[in-house]
Amino acid sequence: MRAAIVLLLTTAFSASPPASRDALAQADARFEVASVRLHTTSGINERSGIEESPAAIRVENLPLKNLIEAAFGVRDYQFSGPGWLGSERYEVVAKPPAGYTHAQFQPLFQTLLADRFKLRTHRETKEMGVYELVVAKSGTTLKESTGPRTFFTSRPALISGTRVSMRELAAALTGLLNRAVFDRTGLTGVYDVRVEWTPDSATGDPGVSLFTAIQEQLGVKLESGRGPVDVLVIDHVERPTLD
């Protein structure tokens, strides 16, 4: 069984927000040289992810679906396409242009996907199912942070950090639930956050769900609704030319 962990490793760069749409449209954003190969081995402990440095960007054992997510700053629920987008895995080794910075990652990979996978896309806003993060009727139990910010953890079974805004919490929940979560709490401060629950796959006993945990432990809850979501429409895509 293949490991399900996908890592984004940014070597020598700090995290930065997605590039603007103007930046994403740069026609001259192109790797000096790039190799795309089909990943042909399989194993439980295989590494999967993206390693980034000023000298080279390496993709190991990732499906095109994950590359689209990284290149366009979208999540799984924001686009769809043929089944092979998630089943066929690729290796990419690319040399960035001189003076490369992390802000160039998305436009460079968008050009690579257009060149090698013939990917053509456009963006739309669609009404779809979302979650709204609201204060529970019993009132929030969140405490405003007084100390320094610590590492913000968001993974199955745990959300934890200090000086966390509700916008950040909503973004973390979006990733965990694979559905857009909008902050409707009206809470504008930064808070100490710790939520623990039992992932469905962890045990035969359903245990404590994420929905129950955030209400009991933070005094906020998720309500189902509908809202406008930015989606990436795939107009055309082909299996790549390989090296």
pLDDT given for residue 136 in this prediction: 96
Residue 35 vs residue 17, higher pLDDT = 35
pTM of the model: 0.75
Kindly state the percentage of the chain with pLDDT values over 90. 76
Average pLDDT across the chain, whole number: 86
Element (H, E) at 218: helix 210-218
**What are the residue boundaries of the structural domains of the chain, listed by start?**
7-117, 127-229
CA 179-184-188 angle, 5° bins: 120
Identify the band that residue 206 occupies on the pLDDT scale cut at 50, 70 and 90.
low
- Token digits of residue 57: 């960007």
Kindly state the percentage of the chain with pLDDT values over 70. 84
Identify the band that residue 24 occupies on the pLDDT scale cut at 50, 70 and 90.
very low
Per residue in 178-196, pLDDT tens?
A: 999 999 999 999 999 999 9
Does 125 score more than 80 pLDDT? Answer: yes
As a whole number of Å, the CA-based R_g of the chain is: 20
Show the DSSP H helices in 120-195 as ranges. Answer: 166-177
pLDDT given for residue 41 in this prediction: 76
pLDDT given for residue 135 in this prediction: 97
Identify the band that residue 25 occupies on the pLDDT scale cut at 50, 70 and 90.
very low
Identify the band that residue 56 occupies on the pLDDT scale cut at 50, 70 and 90.
very high
pLDDT given for residue 77 in this prediction: 93
pLDDT given for residue 205 in this prediction: 54
Element (H, E) at 229: strand 220-236
> In angstroms, rounded to a whole number, what is the distance separating the alpha carbons of residues 133 and 183?
5
**Helical pair 105-117 and 64-72, crossing angle rounded to 10 deg:** 140
> In angstroms, rounded to a whole number, what is the distance separating the alpha carbons of residues 62 and 52?
15
pLDDT given for residue 122 in this prediction: 96
> In angstroms, rounded to a whole number, what is the distance separating the alpha carbons of residues 5 and 48?
7
Positive or negative: CA dihedral 149, 16, 179, 1 = negative
pLDDT given for residue 27 in this prediction: 47
pLDDT given for residue 20 in this prediction: 46
> In angstroms, rounded to a whole number, what is the distance separating the alpha carbons of residues 38 and 15?
28
In order of 37, 63, 84, the CA distances from 40 in angstroms are 9, 12, 14
Does 109 score more than 50 pLDDT? Answer: yes
Residue 62 vs residue 208, higher pLDDT = 62
